[in-house]
Chains A and B, each alone.
Chain A
Amino acid sequence: MGKLLMSGTPLRLAFGAALLLATVAARGSDWELDLDLRAVTSDAGASVLDGGYSPVRFGEHQSGLQLGRLRLALDLPLGEVWKLHLDASAWGNTYPNPIGLTEAYLEFRPYPRNDLRLRIKAGAFYPPLSLENRAGGWASPYTLSYSALDSWIAEELRTIGAEAKVDWLGTRLGLPLDISGVAGVYGWNEVAGGALATGGFLLDDRQTPLFGRVGELETEGGAYVNPFREVDGRAGYYGGMELNFPGRILITALHYDNRADPAAADFASQIFAWHTTFDTAGARVEYGPGWTLIGQWMGGRTAIAPPTGTLEWPFNTRYLLLSKRIGTHHTLSVRYDQFRVDSRNEESDGEQNGHSWTAAYVFDSGKSWTATLEYLRVISSSYSQREDFDLPGPVADTQVQLAVRYSLGAAGY
């Protein structure tokens, strides 16, 4: 943060944001500006995303004041049923640009004329699989650090393409539930899986900007991972179902396959197409006086097939989160994560077996201020690289963050 302040980046960003806001405010759009500052204490080494080995966001050397996130979101209604959504963020790290777009899409939301409703999104956005990241900017209202599952999504996945969702609105017929089907087609996400295979799961809240890169990771090719690449020209897909008892129970399942040809590679830039498939299922249960329980599982694999033979990394992760809202201002949450990446390759190019506890208290002033105190402890055996460098196997990392967030405006619906 100190460096950032000296470089004047936040000032430039704030100035740019103010200009943009002045423009859109005049047009009657919805906008939101969030500034999230953190006081951090950590005993971890440098994060995987910063070229180190630890699965948390901040290392010991980053204890102190940090920029949590600076976010500007815009909703530009185009007529009544079309909307353009833009979401830009800065995390104060060393990505190529100080600020990047995390989502940019056009949405078509016609009114339901009978009990069926269609929704279409086109552009770049998150696939519909997070149960905890339900706040604006794909953030979690429960904790600062996302689950291992959602941290990976934030790191490597984005739908760059189109998605259609059909809802059968039983609740508008006097029945207790809605049933939805969703399907997406996308490209430019064929290196997704590369960072997971080489760096493992993290518990982090940084989202890779579109066409940005994941950290400073040193891969075999000597380059960081840019997950947003198209190598073989084949489109990927996902399909899923949702059962929704609104405000009470949401059950979701999704199958994801980026259909990358693992034998395809861009040899000039040493980029392989990573064939990544997974299934995920989960449920979110909300109970009257402020209780929320979320459980989600994901299992899949990612593979590349260079001429020397196929390399495959199966992975799975699950978490359980329990949250209680007390009154209108206080929320207490605790989450347990388990995660595993395996290497079926002879040379054992990485494997990870870990679990973590996250506990968070959120104070929501009900106006513009939110304060969050989070404790995160991760116990993880790390990648073989760790052993290669004579580091011990399983390592416990503890990170405590106090975040103060100030929000202006309201976008993202």
Chain B
Amino acid sequence: MRLPARSSRTGTTTALALMALLGALLCSLRAPAATLTVAVTLPNGQPLADAVVTVRSNGKKLPAAAPMHAMMDQMNRMFAPEVLVVPVGSSVSFPNSDSVSHQIYSFSAAKRFQLPLYRGKPYAPVLFDRVGVVILGCNIHDWMIGYIDVTDAPFYGTTDAQGGWAAQVPPGDYEITVWHPRMHELTPTLVREISVDAGDRATLALQLTKPLRPAPMEGGSPSWGSY
């Protein structure tokens, strides 16, 4: 999955290094950026991976991140990744790496669509042009469920295996939102405010108060049917 320069995920150290270099170059021209790090943990202290982090400016309005092209695959009759966050206006392709057909649908307000994915046939990506969470299902495999968070935030990403996410942001006041589809908190947000000055390395540690709803049992045998 390609990510825009302003977001980061697992293994994006090279991207971060590049950004740091870029930041250093811009240093003489503009105020240096701040490094914003978010660390999300469960009530038992374990890291929470795949949580969606979005960062909005509280002061000067920043434009939404640039649209991108992302991918959500179908592997072993599951969505991979299960959770995806994309800037509004992005397109997402569903390549179907399985040996069986899928029929992807959503009736979420942010995007209603249906897309049959027959084996070995490429399909045009789907455009996500409205902000909101889109919940995906498969009309053939009932247990398949995926989430695409379409955001207008200037900075966004999902937490890595250590529950961490980091980005370079200009100095200012920010509102940070954390969301995971199996969070118990019904308003799908955990919101915190933070101010950063030029050159700051700010870290927001956030611990959920309730455990996640249990995950579905992973990857049943592929020979299991729909009974």
**Which residues in A have some Cβ–Cβ distance to B below 8 Å?**
28, 30, 77, 80-81, 109, 111-115, 126, 128, 130, 133-136, 138, 141, 167, 169, 171-174, 176, 178, 246-248, 286-288, 290, 292, 328, 364, 366, 370, 407, 410, 412-413
Contacts and interface: CB of A to CB of B under 8 A. Distances in A.
Contact of B227 (A115, A135, A176, A286): A135
Interface residues of B, number: 38
B133 A174 contact: yes
B216 to A, nearest CB: 2
A247 B143 contact: yes
Contact of A111 (B114, B143, B225): B114
B217 A141 contact: no
B135 A134 contact: no
B152 to A, nearest CB: 20
Contacts of A178: 142
Contacts of A111: 103, 105, 114, 139
A135 B103 CA distance: 20
The 8 A-B residue pairs with the shortest CB-CB distance in the complex, in nearest-first order = A247-B216, A286-B217, A134-B227, A412-B225, A111-B114, A136-B225, A246-B143, A111-B105
B221 A80 contact: no
Interface of B: 99-101, 103, 105-108, 112, 114, 116, 118, 133, 135, 137, 139-143, 145, 181, 188, 213-227
A262 to B, nearest CB: 31
A113 B107 contact: yes
Contacts of B114: 111
Nearest to A290: B217
A327 to B, nearest CB: 11
Contact of A413 (B106, B137, B141, B214): B141
A265 B56 CA distance: 77
Chain B, interface SS category: loop
A141 B135 contact: no
A28 B116 CA distance: 14
Contacts of A169: 137
A147 B128 CA distance: 48
B224 A176 contact: no
Contacts of A288: 214-215, 217-218
Contact of A173 (B101, B135, B215): B135
Contacts of A138: 227
A292 B224 CA distance: 14
A246 B142 contact: yes
A287 B213 CA distance: 11
A77 B117 CA distance: 13
A41 B109 CA distance: 60
B143 A370 contact: no
Contacts of B133: 174
A172 B223 contact: no
B217 A176 contact: no
